Amino acid sequence: MTAEADHPSLDNLHFDNRFIRELPGDPEPDNFRRQVYNACYSWALPKRVKQPQLVAYSREMAEALDLSPEICESDDFSQIFVGNRLATGMQAYAMCYGGHQFGHWAGQLGDGRAIILGEVINSQGQRLTLQLKGAGLTPYSRSADGLAVLRSSVREFLCSEAMHHLGVPTTRALSLILTGEQVVRDMFYDGNPQIEAGAVVCRVAQSFTRFGNFQLFTARDDIDSLKKLVDYTIRTDFPELGEPSVPVYLSWFAEVCRRTAEMIVHWQRVGFVHGVMNTDNMSILGLTIDYGPYGWLENFDPDWTPNTTDAKGRRYRFGNQAKIAYWNLVQLANALYPLILRAESLQTALLSYTNTFDAGWQAMMAAKLGLNAFEATEDEALVNDLFALMTAAETDMTLFFRQLADIDLATESQCQADFLAMLTNTSYEPLSEELIERASLWLKVYQLRSLRDGRSHAARRDSMNAVNPKYVLRNYLAQMAIDNAEQGDFALVNELLDVLRKPYAEQPGKESFAAKRPDWAKQRAGCSMLSCSS
């Protein structure tokens, strides 16, 4: 055993930092707001803060980084992952990118409040990029301060880990640390700024490259930098596709389309609404990235969005996420066109998205309903009728699908009584006679369809419970954790983190985390609607 292994330290992490080694950087060393050209990144040191305090850390993410609990609970850990000290091998920088925001080209955006510390190669040979969110100004901060508050940081930390344990492709979170400093935020941009506690989240992903990284170079006609970034991305993150060339570019784009489709299917499966699907918030790896004004669908409503900025147009509503992802991929195709010069080939590659999404959505819905396979001729109507019923009854999506598994469809008379009781208990409004009749008719069709598969009740229940979670990060639960944390009590943050590690398990004693949204949360800020404010 080496001396380094005897004395584990954050200075012993193996940093490779290939991104800044192989790609063009901003020659300006000073950190001030500006337009940056012909560069993939700019140098940016985190802001030093007065009194870092660890709120929580992910033990699974720590293990992936080969970090022991002793290291994670040390003062040095808090100092480094709040940004006060760079460990050996860290080289801090912010990425340069552009993007479409709410359907309109916004020009240069970049990491306005995110600073990458470097790329760690762990003991398994995996490349893991460490990024601090809320660690201060970068050249891309525009008119903002580069900071984040505890409120948004709790939401990002918990949701990153919750999504991972749900099986949804996502960036991860290592730590959540208070800065000991105050930040001014106008939560709803209505002229009522408040003083809030500052915080920093350490986010982790194989890469944080977005669609917008490629878009900005094409928009500026910087095709040389575009090619360097595309070639680097393929060699680093998609090496199985082969050495970069026009055919490999097309294969790579098709793979990005496929991964994006799989991610959206998972969002729809668990009732997640991203809230701000701008092209700068779309990961090239098909990961859920940038947890801002997200939300979990409680009463089923395809038109719901948690984002106050999108309240009028509802561009990023739950039922529109699949179409928006396709629109964003078209923008990426436009950005890649100068390297490929084959519009028809790019259009063919886009079929990877539609084919993957359509097949994935059908398989996902069959699984949620406990069916062996999706039979389009009859199951499409079955699903559409169910969604219409759930929308009209304001039915809690998570509770409905989880409890549907408990209905024994082989017991004819008891089955209907149990189903109507379940629907009543999982809906936010009383059922009218008309809705009861519609529910009874739907149940009969579903019952016949399910029994035809020949599955036992136990087998159907177990298969449904494997894809329909009991526990998700309900909006009001996150707000309760925030309320407590703002008073210095971090117990609920850590308890939620623990419960969300096993979202498909029953977890006796934790049933309160799988309850309907309480009345007080229906219209409360942070529970029903959020803004893009930190």
- Cite the active site residues: 280
Encoded tokens for 7: 């004395």
Would you say 254 and 145 are in contact if contact means Cβ atoms under 8 Å apart?
no
Q: Is 203:160 a contact under the CB 8 Å cutoff?
A: yes
SS3 91: coil
Distances (CA, A) of 185 to 44, 101, 146, 148, 279: 23, 21, 12, 9, 25
Q: Is residue 294 a contact partner of residue 273, using CB atoms and an 8 Å limit?
A: yes
R_g of the chain computed on alpha carbons: 24
Terminal Cα distance for the chain, rounded: 45
CA neighbours within 13 Å on the CB side: how many for 380? 4
Q: What is the DSSP code string of 28-61?
A: --S-------S-SEEE-PPPP-S--EEEEE-HHH
Bridge partners of 202, per DSSP, are 132, 175
Q: What is the 3-state secondary structure (H, E, C) of 149-208?
A: EHHHHHHHHHHHHHHHHHCCCECEEEEEEEEEEEEEECCCCCCCCEEEEEEEEEEEECCC
CA distance 219 to 211: 13
Q: What is the Cα–Cα distance from 304 to 273, expressed in whole angstroms?
A: 8
| 3-class DSSP assignment, residue 115 | strand
Rounded Cα distance between 39 and 217, Å, is 9
Q: List Cβ neighbours of 66 (8 Å cut-off, separation of 6 or more).
A: 13, 122, 123
Distance of CA 247 to the CA centre of its chain: 31
Helices (H), 371-473: 376-393, 397-404, 412-426, 433-452, 457-465
Helix (H, G, I), strand (E, B) or coil at 342: coil
